[in-house]
Structure 1
Amino acid sequence: MTTDHDFTNPNILPTGTPQGQSAMQNPNPAHTEQATDTQNRYSENVGETTHFGYQTVNAHDKQAKVAQVFTSVATKYDIMNDLMSFGIHRLWKRFAIKMSGVHRGQHVLDIAGGTGDLAKVFSREVGKSGRVILSDINEAMLEVGRTRLINAGCNNVDFVLANAETLTPFDDNSFDLVTISFGLRNVTDKQKALEAMYRVLKPGGRLLVLEFSKPVFEPLSKAYDLYSFTALPLMGKIVANDADSYQYLAESIRMHPDQTTLKAMMEQAGFINCDYHNLTGGIVAVHRGFKKR
């Protein structure tokens, strides 16, 4: 059985080579122009309408629709994560924690932190002199995380309802580390959220985005699609009595920007030295960027 301690055992961490790492000197003009064009096309999708899975909805309505999904699945969220990923999500989170570089005394903001998987580990790593804030826009998810972490004795964690697009409860230059794990794809205006994350980071601080992405091998992509659109809704119906929410989750993954597009969005928000690691053939990617000192 995997424990939270296993999340930070360096002997069992997956290894990988960062891809798409920024060269801050003499960037390739053609690549920069292509990335900007890709981002501009993506930004045009956030106007009066946006996507909710494969549906086109009023942009102002998406937040409420996403909230309904996660309110519905909150109590079954952890068990469904284990079932859907065959437990591999623990390895993905372990890798993200390795990349976080978190240490004693730091201040960490875990956005869309839900049931508190990462926040629980960060709580231990920053120690009594550090502070962790578990934030989520969904009250039901935040309450599950709050109960779980309080029961675990995490007394250096605060719980804050916050919209990732603004992060208005938090001051500029407040955090050494900001993370968002499997939450960015549900944000209506992702570019605005990345800019808010940049704002609240201290100079030299680090952003980590752990999110579903685009498989890099075509056979894997086809098999993944088949699994996502057949098995996930079926498991959602059986375990959580909610097939529709898991149908949306599958669709939201397909609508999320690919690895290079998200990296370009981070750079547009001001982050430097951006790179990403593909995990499980690109099914998931960890993006990393830093705020200028």
Structure 2
Amino acid sequence: MGAKGTSLLLIAVAAVVLLSMSVFIVDEREYAIKLRFGEIVRMDFEPGLHFKTPFVNTVRKFDNRVLTRNNPNEPFLTAEKKNLRVDFYVKWRIVDVGQYFRATGGDERLATSRLLEIMKDGLRAQFARQTVQEVVTADRAQVVDELMDTAGVTARELGIEIVDVRVKTLDLPPDVSESVFNRMRQERARVAAQLRAEGGETAERIRSDADRQRTIIIAEAQRDAQRIRGAGDARAAEVYAQAFEQDRDFYEFWRSMQAFRTSIGQGNDMLVIEPDGEFFRFLKDPTGGAGR
């Protein structure tokens, strides 16, 4: 290959290198900013192929997805000056890539470090106002909402948004744990005793009302029974009187038979009565002395 061919080859290689340095691709999962000597000149790139001026312009890319950072076993003091070990995590994402670059230089480790400090300051302020028992029994959702409200403003200064915060575990020293659990057991026992007392009071009220209604129902039933029995007795007396008026001899005979049935042949019953008495009148004479 001659000198001319070599020159053409070098020119072609240089052109390819320059072209590759002039082209960059922005993924849909990325933000991109163009820098000129360290100053931001553009940051509104859509996903796709873009161009830049080599050597003068540089491009920095940042993840635009939700990122997660864990922070295990962080110590915090409560209002009682008791030490708690808290395991939490924070989810965040970049929302203002220009502010993010200016605040952190585009260093994700620096950004997460500063974000964790913001979160720890917020949690520290939260726990410092509460006792151990209040921390253990507190509504986590309310704590998280308050934390996101206060820390979210500071996080915006870094060009990032706090998506979520979760306290995963709270570890207490053994002596503190036993004390807290004892107080919780006592509180639960107090609530249970109160509920039992209220239940007993309600049961007694229901039982008293049931007894009152039972007494009223029985009294009304006895009243109605007496009324019905009285009406029946009156009707029976009326029927007896009508029967007596229709055939007095038959009525006397029937009544005597009824008396015999209820008086004679009842086990060990014994009657001491004169045989000539009125009681045996129909036994001696079927007509009952009708001709007398």
Interval containing the TM-score (normalised by the shorter chain): under 0.3
Q: Which structure is richer in relative contact order (CA contacts within 8 A, separation 6 or more)?
A: 1
Q: Which one has the largest radius of gyration? A: 2
TM-score (norm 2): 0.17
- Choose between structure 1 and 2: higher helix proportion: 2
TM-score (norm 1): 0.16
